[in-house]
Amino acid sequence: MGQGMSCGGAAHDHGLFSAAQFGESEMVMSALRDDPSLVCATTPHDRQSLLHVAAANGQTELVSMLLDRNMNTDLLNRHKQTPLMVAAMHGRTSCVEKLLDAGANVLVFDSLHGRTCLHYAAYYGHSECLKAILSSARTSRVATSWGYARFVNIRDGKGATPLHLAARQRWPECVHALLDSGALVCASTGGDGYPGSTPLHLAARGGSIDCIRELLARGADRLQRDASGRIPHLVALKYKHGACAALLNPAAAEPLVWPSPLKFINELNQEAKALLERAFMEAGKEREKSILKLTGFLLPSPSHSDSSMEDDISESSNAELCCICFEQACNIQVQNCGHQMCAHCTLSLCCHNKPNPTTSSLNPPVCPFCRSTIARLSVVEVRNKDEADNDVGDISPSISRKPRKSRNFSCSEGGSSSSSSSSSLKGLSALGKISGRGPGRIAADTECDDKP
């Protein structure tokens, strides 16, 4: 008895740890008052501390109390796992936050696979824990000493970044959050310059279309080879993920790539970004459908994209129809000219197929209505009737819209084709085709003639 106590203390049995497990904070704290050396107590086999046990079981209150007693945040168990790692492993977001607030070290590597807390959150798919760790790392001393980008792309003992693990384990939300935070989409497990698997290889192996979509949207390379010389397409075939293989087939249409290099996309506020991202993902799904239709596969969850499309329509009942596609509501406003269009059409202006390095240029797109360079995008505020009645005094400038007529294409400009405007229109018609909204929707000149 008592052999599990790493630093003396009375021969307490496991009662203390089961109290910690079930969150009986008072019992644990009074035991600690009676015998302060119990802060060092650990379980016999795995050498878990009280903080490990409380964090793994989501006992936030007890975690707080232990931290208030200045308990070491970075105690290691038998596998050199910290309480932060086990909290991230079990998806205990509030415990993760408490530990981070108390200064827990995010840069500890376990002795099992050389993984950090970020790897744990990514591997087990706990996106909220993952985001909490990322946001803490962004502002902590890790960012200054190690570099935030380096932390996001940190490798485990086998060279896998958190993005590799999330893609392999089929967690699209974690994949998304990591890519948003600067995870390298083409990182190779082989390390610098050596062949290895990319996150796309591992997503192909895991068979998650959602993960593959996220990775392709950020420019993942379908032609990169792993250590065995295989492209992701072959990996998907090997593991019998037919639909994934169809999308990864280099012969299938090039994926749309999220235009994050464009300055104004990076500067979008959260609301505008979310709108555009949703439109982007919908366009990607439409593209997938057409590829899969050709190859005879069905998307596993068609209901998902359909329901979000319906949301768009019901939400938009009060908004004006987009003058480009005449299908979606205007919800994005171009600055500085104030012209409006839908998120789908906005994206088709900014989206490009995977850029060809020899020809790609990142000229900012221009407003399709007035040809002025787009400096900024904002969300159109659509007010429903109740709100409009309630605050008549509010004259926010973002609500005052330009008259509808002024937003129509000017026919006289149809002939002018500067290189940038023609390329943006090309992008627009490309998306029209891909999203199945019918080609020619953007035939500005004919629309102009038909409209009164």
Question: Of the ranges 53-61, 229-237, 306-314, 321-329, which one interacts with Zn ion (CB under 5 A)?
Answer: 321-329
Q: Which is nearer to Zn ion, 88 or 325 (CB)?
A: 325
Q: Does 407 bind Zn ion (CB under 5 A)?
A: no
Preceding amide of 153 cis, omega within 30: no
Question: Of the ranges 15-23, 45-53, 123-131, 319-327, which one interacts with Zn ion (CB under 5 A)?
Answer: 319-327
- For Zn ion, the binding residue among 370, 375, 382, 443 (CB under 5 A) is 370
Question: Of the ranges 2-10, 79-87, 292-300, 360-368, which one interacts with Zn ion (CB under 5 A)?
Answer: 360-368
C-alpha–C-alpha distance, residues 258 and 283, integer Å: 11
Q: Does 342 bind Zn ion (CB under 5 A)?
A: yes
Question: Of the ranges 132-140, 189-197, 199-207, 324-332, which one interacts with Zn ion (CB under 5 A)?
Answer: 324-332
Q: Does 280 bind Zn ion (CB under 5 A)?
A: no
Q: Which of 171, 253, 251, 156 is nearest to 215 (CA)?
A: 171
Min CB(415)–Zn ion separation in Å: 18
- For Zn ion, the binding residue among 213, 339, 352, 441 (CB under 5 A) is 339
Min CB(370)–Zn ion separation in Å: 3
Question: Of the ranges 239-247, 349-357, 361-369, 412-420, which one interacts with Zn ion (CB under 5 A)?
Answer: 361-369
Min CB(322)–Zn ion separation in Å: 3
Min CB(432)–Zn ion separation in Å: 10
Q: Which is nearer to Zn ion, 187 or 431 (CB)?
A: 431
C-alpha–C-alpha distance, residues 449 and 41, integer Å: 82
Q: Which is nearer to Zn ion, 17 or 409 (CB)?
A: 409
- For Zn ion, the binding residue among 175, 345, 349, 380 (CB under 5 A) is 345
Give the CA distances from residue 141 to residues 103, 215, 278, 447, in Å, rounded to whole numbers and listed in that order: 10, 29, 34, 57
Q: Which is nearer to Zn ion, 276 or 342 (CB)?
A: 342
- Residue found under tokens 């019901």: 314
Q: Which is nearer to Zn ion, 50 or 325 (CB)?
A: 325
- Residue found under tokens 């790897």: 119
Q: Which is nearer to Zn ion, 138 or 371 (CB)?
A: 371
Min CB(338)–Zn ion separation in Å: 7
- Residue found under tokens 């009942």: 317
Min CB(427)–Zn ion separation in Å: 13
Q: Which is nearer to Zn ion, 59 or 328 (CB)?
A: 328
- For Zn ion, the binding residue among 16, 325, 351, 434 (CB under 5 A) is 325
C-alpha–C-alpha distance, residues 340 and 12, integer Å: 69
Q: Does 328 bind Zn ion (CB under 5 A)?
A: yes
Q: Does 347 bind Zn ion (CB under 5 A)?
A: no
Q: Does 243 bind Zn ion (CB under 5 A)?
A: no
Q: Which is nearer to Zn ion, 294 or 313 (CB)?
A: 313
- For Zn ion, the binding residue among 32, 337, 347, 377 (CB under 5 A) is 337
Q: Which is nearer to Zn ion, 89 or 325 (CB)?
A: 325
Q: Which is nearer to Zn ion, 213 or 437 (CB)?
A: 437
The number of residues that bind Zn ion (CB under 5 A) is 11
Min CB(291)–Zn ion separation in Å: 23
Q: Which is nearer to Zn ion, 4 or 365 (CB)?
A: 365
Question: Of the ranges 61-69, 307-315, 340-348, 356-364, which one interacts with Zn ion (CB under 5 A)?
Answer: 340-348
Min CB(243)–Zn ion separation in Å: 29
- Residue found under tokens 């119990």: 38
Q: Does 322 bind Zn ion (CB under 5 A)?
A: yes
> Residue 339, exposed/middle/buried by CB under 10 A (0-12, 13-18, 19+)?
buried
* 324, 368 contact by CB (below 8 A): yes
Contacts to Zn ion by CB under 5 A: 322, 324-325, 328, 337, 339, 342, 345, 367, 369-370
